[in-house]
Structure 1
Amino acid sequence: MSTSNNMLNILTLFSIEQPILDADEICEKLSFSIPTGYRYIKDLVNHGLLERLHGGQYTLGPQISVLDYISQRGNPLIHYSVPLMQEIAEQTEMDCCLTQLHEDYCLDIHHQSFKDSDLLAYGRGRPRPPYAGGAPKIMLAFSPAKTQKIFYEKYREQFSLTEFSQNEAEFLKKMTNIKKQGYYFSIGELESHLGAIAVPIVYSTKSNPIALTVVSSAKRLKLTNINVIVDLLKNAATEIENNMLGKKID
Structure 2
Amino acid sequence: MTDKADSSLARMLSVLDLFSDQRLHWSAEDISEALGVSLPTSYRYVKTLGDAGLLRRGPDAQFTLGPRIVVLDHYIRQADPVLQRGIPFMRELVKQTGFDCVVSSLYGDQLLDTHREYGSMPADLSYGRGRPRPLFLGGAAKVILAGLPTPQLHRLLDSHRDEVAAAGLPTDWPTFRRYYSQIRKDGRYFSNGELEPQLAALAVPLHDADGSVIGALSLVTTVQRMAVIDLDKLTPLIQRAAQEIAARLR
What is the TM-score when the length of structure 2 is the normalising length?
0.91
1:20 aligns with 2:43: no
Tell me by how many angstroms 1:203 deviates.
0.6
Confirm whether residue 214 of structure 1 aligns to residue 219 of structure 2: yes
Superposed displacement of residue 64, structure 1 = 0.3
Matched, 1:125 2:130: yes
User: Given the alignment, which residue of 43, 60, 80 partners 1:75?
Assistant: 80
Tell me by how many angstroms 1:161 deviates.
Answer: 4.3
How many pairs were matched up? 245
Give the unaligned 5+ runs of structure 2: 1-5
1:160 and 1:58, CA in 2 relative to 1: closer, same or farther beyond 3 A?
closer
1:58 aligned to which of 63, 66, 80: 63
8 Å CA contact 1:131–1:155 kept in 2: the answer is no
Question: Aligned ranges for residues 1-250 of structure 1 at < 5 Å?
Answer: 2-115=7-120, 117-165=122-170, 167-205=172-210, 209-245=214-250
How many angstroms apart in 2 are the aligned matches of 1:25 and 1:57? 10
Gaps of 5+ in 1: 246-250
Q: Pick closer, same or farther for the CA change 1:124–1:131 going to 2, 3 Å.
A: same
Shift of 1:100: 1.1
Query: What is the rounded CA distance, in whole Å, between the counterparts of 2:41 and 2:211 in structure 1?
Result: 37
Distance 1:39-1:133 versus aligned 2 partners, 3 A rule? same
Identical-pair percentage: 36
Q: Counterparts of 2:173 and 2:114 in 1: how far apart (Å)?
A: 30
User: CA RMSD for the aligned pairs?
Assistant: 1.9
Aligned-partner SS, 1:209: strand
Deviation of the 1:242 alpha carbon: 1.5
Name the SS for the 1:132 alignment partner: coil
Deviation, structure 1 residue 173: 0.8
Aligned-pair CA distance for 1:243:
1.3
Contact kept, 8 Å, 2:104 with 2:112, in 1: the verdict is yes
Aligned mates of 1:17, 1:203 — CA distance in 2 = 34
Cα separation, partners in 2 of 1:207 and 1:25, compared to 1, 3 Å: farther
What is the aligned partner in structure 2 of residue 248 from structure 1? none
- Pair 25,174 (structure 1): closer, same or farther in 2 beyond 3 Å: same
Q: Which digits, 9 at most, give the CA deviation of each residue in 1:136-191, with x for residues without a partner?
A: 11001111111221222233344344433353222111211111111111111111
Q: Secondary structure at the match of 2:131?
A: coil
What is the distance in 2 between the residues matched to 1:92 and 1:226?
A: 12
8 Å contact from structure 1 (residues 186, 196) kept in 2: yes
Give, in angstroms, the shift of residue 56 of structure 1: 1.6
Quote the Cα distance in structure 2 between the aligned partners of 1:90 and 1:69.
Answer: 26
TM-score, structure 1 normalization:
0.91
CA distance in 2, matches of 1:47, 1:206: 38
**1:133 Cα deviation (Å)?**
0.5
